[in-house]
Amino acid sequence: MKSRNLQINSKQEILILGAGPAGMSASFELHKAAKAAMIIEKNEYIGGLAATLQYGEFKTDIGPHRFFSHNKYLYDLIEDLLLERWIKVNRLTRFYINGKFFLYPIQLKDAFSNIGLHKTFKVAADYSFQKIKNILVGKKAESFEEQAVADFGRILAELNILNYTEKIWGLPCSEISPDWLKQRIEGLSVMEIIKKTLTSSKTKKGPKTLVEQFYYPDTGTNSIYEKMQERILTGGSIIHLKSYPVKIFHNNKKITEIIMNINGNDQIIIPDYVISSIPITEIINIMEPKAPDEVLKANKKLRYRSHISLFITLDKPSVFPDQWIYFPDKEIPFCRIMEPKNFSKKMSPLSRTSLVVEFFCWENDKIWNANKEELFDLSIKWLEKLNFIKEKEIIEGFIHKEKYAYPLYDLNYKDHLSILKNYLKQFKNLQCIGRAGSFKYNNQDHALEMGILAARNIIEGEKNNIEDVGTEQEYFEKGYIK
Ligand SMILES: Cc1cc2nc3c(=O)[nH]c(=O)nc-3n(C[C@H](O)[C@H](O)[C@H](O)COP(=O)(O)OP(=O)(O)OC[C@H]3O[C@@H](n4cnc5c(N)ncnc54)[C@H](O)[C@@H]3O)c2cc1C
């Protein structure tokens, strides 16, 4: 190996790239087994996409973060960290379509009173026609659009699924993989909604479903990861903020050393194991020797959708009762608005509140490059029209950008991704986990599970397949709080 004039850091047994939920849960699981790790994080803060940002007396998450899992282990783990700060929130979320607010998840009575009798019949006829067509033709859906129409009928799909999805992804639904629908809203069938409506009187006294309530850390989602941080630091782990890998050297199917920029200084780290939760595309780009051409080509084809939050602090105690509201209409420039105070009163001072206006965009498009004033101009006229705020109530605004917010499931993503994964799996001491790290549309629960399993693969030599996490394709809204 060529000699480089760099400081050689002492050998690091376990190196974790990224201090988001996946990286933090890996370090926490290692800590529980009395193993320390070095964690490298490019931001000035931990938590990744689940970070909580602080602006003066106001706090917010990066978009709404509702915790949900089928895994009791995760609830116990978080409860043990947060104790009484892990609160239950009564959920209220709505859609705004054509000047009307609809409850989300959809409730039949509410939806039908909003769309009227005539349209209700049209929806029912269209849905029945589609179900018969599915039986007769039985064609496998090849795009998100085909899947949504097959599941809901075209009229219902166009009412609140297709246009919102196109706004999130910036692509026509015919160019989006059906995987996304399967992962996000499988189980939300029209029959399920009807069944729920018919049985709702019986279930009133039963346990609340996670559709009606969810758990939340009372000072923001990142409290989970801050608590993990407190614990792991006591066990000798180190977190380097404002740090990132520059080159990853490999030899004989092993990661041998990494040039790491630690707070502005390049150092060589020699790890035994690497757990990476940073974008898989970034890992490929810094491999040395370089990845084969086929891999580099596939790498360029994978895209992430970016996200911008416009955070507005307000001199009024409340805006709306919802945690968040979706805006599928294309004429409205933003996708969603959340009010952090409706997750926990501690997110704003008592007499004031705040809103987060969310935009989805491509890195370097017009929205990405817009400054705060331009995003304000785009938003304010709608916020006033919706009767949410008056311009004079605004105290201040801030913007926050996330380049790698959503791994894009276009029609060919699986082919490209499998080329990357086949290449990376040869490295016996490297595990790629997390949302951007495994290019999987994960929520926190699956990011946490991946981190825990990756750590156990090291601690106990278990052979957990990280790829299996989240493959059950369950609808995230199911489940009960016991
Ligand atoms: C708008 C929005 C709303 C969401 N809502 C919910 C919700 O309601 N419920 C829910 O459970 N989940 C939600 N999520 C998803 C949740 O935030 C993610 O699933 C979770 O944060 C993924 O954790 P991760 O560790 O895999 O990735 P990340 O959170 O992305 O963490 C990766 C970390 O790696 C760091 N990193 C990246 N590149 C480098 C580099 N080169 N060097 C060093 N460090 C690097 C990043 O800064 C980051 O800290 C939402 C996400 C978004 C964007």
How far apart CA 355 and CA 323 sit, in angstroms, is: 10
Residue that is written with structure tokens 């490209």 in the block: 416
Instruction: Supply the residue whose CA is at minimum distance from atom 35 of ligand 1.
Output: 18
In the prediction, which pLDDT does 468 show?
Answer: 84
Instruction: Supply the residue whose CA is at minimum distance from atom 19 of ligand 1.
Output: 443
Minimum-distance ligand 1 atom for the alpha carbon of 66: 8
Residue 89 scores a pLDDT above 50? yes
Q: Which two tokens stand for residue 201?
A: 């009187």
Q: Beta-carbon neighbour count of residue 316 at 10 Å?
A: 14
Residue 62 C-alpha to ligand 1 middle, in angstroms? 9
Residue 110 C-alpha to ligand 1 middle, in angstroms? 34
Residue 117 scores a pLDDT above 90? no
| DSSP, residue by residue, 355-388 | EEEEEEE-TTSHHHH--HHHHHHHHHHHHHHTTS
Residue 116 scores a pLDDT above 80? yes
Lowest pLDDT segment from 92-106, 308-322, 394-408, 421-435: 92-106
Q: Beta-carbon neighbour count of residue 42 at 10 Å?
A: 17
Lowest pLDDT segment from 179-188, 254-263, 292-301, 459-468: 179-188
Lowest pLDDT segment from 179-183, 221-225, 332-336: 179-183
Residue 438 C-alpha to ligand 1 middle, in angstroms? 12
- Dump pLDDT digits (tens) for 43-78: 999 999 999 999 999 999 999 999 988 888 999 999
Closest alpha carbon to 55 in 302, 349, 290: 349
Instruction: Supply the residue whose CA is at minimum distance from atom 3 of ligand 1.
Output: 63
Residue 405 scores a pLDDT above 50? yes
Residue 115 scores a pLDDT above 90? no
Minimum-distance ligand 1 atom for the alpha carbon of 68: 11
Residue 482 scores a pLDDT above 80? no
**Please, which pLDDT band fits residue 473 given cuts at 50, 70 and 90?**
very low
How far apart CA 167 and CA 154 sit, in angstroms, is: 18
Any residues with CB less than 8 A from the CB of 434 and at least 6 apart, and which? 18, 20, 21, 22, 23, 48, 277, 442, 447, 450, 451
Residue 24 C-alpha to ligand 1 middle, in angstroms? 11
Instruction: Supply the residue whose CA is at minimum distance from atom 32 of ligand 1.
Output: 20
Instruction: Supply the residue whose CA is at minimum distance from atom 40 of ligand 1.
Output: 244
Minimum-distance ligand 1 atom for the alpha carbon of 406: 53
Q: Which two tokens stand for residue 241?
A: 């903020």
Do 269 and 260 touch, CB atoms closer than 8 A? yes
Instruction: Supply the residue whose CA is at minimum distance from atom 49 of ligand 1.
Output: 48
In the prediction, which pLDDT does 210 show?
Answer: 57
Residue 436 C-alpha to ligand 1 middle, in angstroms? 7
Instruction: Supply the residue whose CA is at minimum distance from atom 42 of ligand 1.
Output: 244
- Dump pLDDT digits (tens) for 228-269: 999 999 999 999 999 999 999 999 999 999 999 999 999 999
Average pLDDT, integer, range 396-405: 97
Average pLDDT taken over every residue of the chain = 90
Minimum-distance ligand 1 atom for the alpha carbon of 442: 19
Minimum-distance ligand 1 atom for the alpha carbon of 336: 1
Minimum-distance ligand 1 atom for the alpha carbon of 450: 26
Lowest pLDDT segment from 148-162, 373-387, 463-477: 463-477
According to DSSP, the residues that pair with 309 across neighbouring strands are 358, 400
Residue that is written with structure tokens 């989602």 in the block: 221
In the prediction, which pLDDT does 196 show?
Answer: 62
Cis peptide, bond prior to residue 317, ω within 30 of zero: no
Do 37 and 276 touch, CB atoms closer than 8 A? no
Any residues with CB less than 8 A from the CB of 81 and at least 6 apart, and which? 224, 227, 228, 231
Provide, rounded to the nearest whole percent, the portion of the chain with pLDDT above 90: 73
H helical segments located in 107-250: 108-137, 144-152, 154-160, 162-169, 179-185, 190-203, 223-234
H helical segments located in 206-356: 223-234, 280-285, 293-301
Residue 476 scores a pLDDT above 50? no
Residue 206 C-alpha to ligand 1 middle, in angstroms? 34
Q: Which helix (H) or strand (E) holds 420?
A: helix 413-424
Average pLDDT, integer, range 291-296: 98
Q: Is 481 exposed, middle or buried (0-12, 13-18, 19+ CB in 10 A)?
A: middle
- Dump pLDDT digits (tens) for 342-399: 999 999 999 999 999 999 999 999 999 999 999 999 999 999 999 999 999 999 999 9
CB burial of 118-154 (b: ≥16 within 10 Å; e: otherwise) equals eeeeebeebbeebeeeeeeeeeebebbbbbbbbbbbb
In the prediction, which pLDDT does 458 show?
Answer: 96
In the prediction, which pLDDT does 185 show?
Answer: 60
Instruction: Supply the residue whose CA is at minimum distance from atom 2 of ligand 1.
Output: 63
Minimum-distance ligand 1 atom for the alpha carbon of 243: 43
In the prediction, which pLDDT does 107 show?
Answer: 80
- Dump pLDDT digits (tens) for 9-37: 667 799 999 999 999 999 999 999 999 99
Provide, rounded to the nearest whole percent, the portion of the chain with pLDDT above 70: 90
For the chain, which domains are there? 7-48+68-88+218-302+410-468 (3.50.50.60), 106-203 (no CATH), 303-407 (3.90.660.10)
How far apart CA 155 and CA 61 sit, in angstroms, is: 34
How far apart CA 434 and CA 140 sit, in angstroms, is: 29
Question: For ligand 1, which residues put their CB under 6 angstroms from it?
Answer: 17-23, 40-43, 48-50, 62-67, 244-245, 277-279, 282, 307, 402, 405, 434-437, 442-445, 447
Residue 21 C-alpha to ligand 1 middle, in angstroms? 7
Pick 183 or 167 by higher pLDDT: 167
In the prediction, which pLDDT does 1 show?
Answer: 37
Do 455 and 29 touch, CB atoms closer than 8 A? yes
Closest alpha carbon to 355 in 392, 400, 388, 307: 388
Residue 286 C-alpha to ligand 1 middle, in angstroms? 21
| DSSP, residue by residue, 250-283 | EETTEEEEEEEEETTEEEEE-EEEEEE-S-HHHH
How far apart CA 385 and CA 9 sit, in angstroms, is: 58
Q: Which two tokens stand for residue 287?
A: 């491999």
Do 245 and 42 touch, CB atoms closer than 8 A? no
**Please, which pLDDT band fits residue 3 given cuts at 50, 70 and 90?**
very low
Minimum-distance ligand 1 atom for the alpha carbon of 437: 26
**Please, which pLDDT band fits residue 2 given cuts at 50, 70 and 90?**
very low
Q: What is the pTM of this model?
A: 0.93
In the prediction, which pLDDT does 348 show?
Answer: 98
CB burial of 437-461 (b: ≥16 within 10 Å; e: otherwise) equals bbbbebbbbbbbbbbbbbbbbbeee
- Dump pLDDT digits (tens) for 169-218: 999 999 999 887 776 664 556 666 665 655 554 444 545 555 689 999 99
Residue 321 C-alpha to ligand 1 middle, in angstroms? 27
Residue 164 scores a pLDDT above 60? yes
Residue that is written with structure tokens 């929130």 in the block: 89
The helix/strand/coil state of 397 is strand
In the prediction, which pLDDT does 4 show?
Answer: 53
Max mean pLDDT among 48-52, 111-115, 146-150 falls in 48-52
In the prediction, which pLDDT does 472 show?
Answer: 59
In the prediction, which pLDDT does 480 show?
Answer: 43
